[in-house]
Structure 1
Amino acid sequence: MLNCGADWLHMDIMDGHFVPNLTIGAPVIESLRKHTKAYLDCHLMVTNPLDYVDPFGKAGASGFTFHVEVSKENWQELVQRIKSKGMRPGVALKPGTPIEEVYPLVESENPVEMVLVMTVEPGFGGQKFMPEMMDKVRALRKKYPSLDIEVDGGLGPSTIDMAASAGANCIVAGSSVFGAPKPAHVISHLRKSVEESQQNI
């Protein structure tokens, strides 16, 4: 994927509780880190993100994005711990969660550095993109012009323009890239759309 032009490798970590799926954990990140210096963008769809900070920091994760739905009580401690382990903190929200819930985390004295807007229900790949989620992206971009805004779910050549023009600048693409005969062409298309939209903002 890096040879095809990807900037980051996005890792979906699921605990079988916050979402029904169970996926990779810190040992896989650790194994992968031995083979690449790439930015490992870890999205933790887990009920207790604090439990994962130390193992993921030790494993070599670059970014640690937790869900706002499970961290209302302890996000300040969580952000502090993530940064202390040398990782970049991000916050994600499910489609049903209002965008206003992440504002305090972006405006905090010790803020998150990225917001991930889920454009599908978290847990399973290959779902259909939800265009109505772009209102959240637009609201974020208007309020925070320099914030990294990531979108995840159903992104590909047919949906990228909607996401890019709304203000997303970090694009997660799974099925559309890995299922393509020429992944490099898809990555190039996604990048071009984002770059062109950013020039117009």
Structure 2
Amino acid sequence: MKIAPSILSADFANLREDIIKVQEGGADWIHVDSMDGHFVPNLTFGSIVVKAIRPHTHLPIDCHLMVENPDYFIQEFAEAGADYISIHLESTPHVQRALQLIKSFNVKAGIVINPATPVSLLEDIIHMVDLVLVMTVNPGYGGQSFIYETLSKIKTLDTWKKEKGCDFLIEVDGGINTTTIKQCAEAGADVFVAGSYVFNSSNPEERIESLKKAVRDSA
């Protein structure tokens, strides 16, 4: 079980302090959502933010690239200090090449699918990835409601792990709270991205612990 607060919901005027706060509060990873305003309608930040926060946390930095042509950005995110770089299956016709490029920088490679994308499309590349991120909301904005139909994708991936002997992590992102995290954990998810649920609270440590407790209770 890993809780990965998304800095998309952090206070950007106090980003360093917010990261330290969730790190001390029990977070396992720091999740960075990079959006280009083309692949998704929102525009956020690039590798410069990863480079800026890298000295202030010892936690793995999990970079989710919601961008067209992710090949153009992989090297700069890797050099900025990313530990994981995940790209969308829908973002490039050259998925294998992009995954190979991520790995060439000794960074763990992740693949992401949108809620409407069939999980079956991952079958031929599943052996290449360290992480599969199932979007449980449509990407682009924080604070959306969980899409329950995505639970079947998590279950399928968990079955593949057992049947194929794979060791990739299953990550979920979107609408995560104490109710939905339990359902995702029961379906087989390992890593849980939570943005507004953690950062919009006056007590992020309490929120992180409540998420971890919900996962433990699901076991």
Shift of 1:196: 4.7
Q: Match for 2:125: what amino acid?
A: L
Q: Kindly report which structure 2 residues correspond to 1:78-89, keeping only aligned pairs within 5 A, or say none.
A: 78-89=98-109
Partner in structure 2 of residue 172 of structure 1: 193
2:153 corresponds to 1:136 = yes
Q: Match for 1:190: what amino acid?
A: L
Q: What CA distance in whole angstroms lies between the structure 2 residues aligned with 1:90 and 1:154?
A: 20
TM-score, normalised via structure 2 length: 0.85
Secondary structure of the corresponding residue to residue 140 of structure 2: coil
Secondary structure of the corresponding residue to residue 2 of structure 1: helix
2:138 corresponds to 1:121 = yes
Q: Alignment RMSD, CA only?
A: 1.3
- 1:44, 1:65 within 8 Å by CA — same for their partners in 2? yes
Partner in structure 2 of residue 102 of structure 1: 122
Structure 1: runs of 5 or more not aligned: none
Q: Kindly report which structure 2 residues correspond to 1:143-182, keeping only aligned pairs within 5 A, or say none.
A: 143-145=160-162, 146-182=167-203
Shift of 1:45: 0.3
Shift of 1:157: 1.3
**CA deviation map 1:136-189 (0-9, x unaligned):** 000110111343100000001121111111111100000111112321122112
Aligned length: 194
2:36 corresponds to 1:15 = yes
TM-score, normalised via structure 1 length: 0.92
Q: What CA distance in whole angstroms lies between the structure 2 residues aligned with 1:184 and 1:115?
A: 26
- 2:179, 2:214 within 8 Å by CA — same for their partners in 1? no
Shift of 1:80: 1.4
Q: What CA distance in whole angstroms lies between the structure 1 residues aligned with 2:29 and 2:107?
A: 14
Larger CA deviation: 180-189 vs 40-49: 180-189
Percentage of matched positions with identical amino acids: 43
Q: Match for 1:65: what amino acid?
A: S
Secondary structure of the corresponding residue to residue 144 of structure 1: helix
Q: 1:55 aligns with which of 68, 76, 101?
A: 76
2:62 corresponds to 1:41 = yes
Shift of 1:13: 0.3
Secondary structure of the corresponding residue to residue 24 of structure 2: coil
- Greater share of residues in helix: 2
Shift of 1:34: 2.2
Runs of 4+ with deviation above 6 angstroms: none
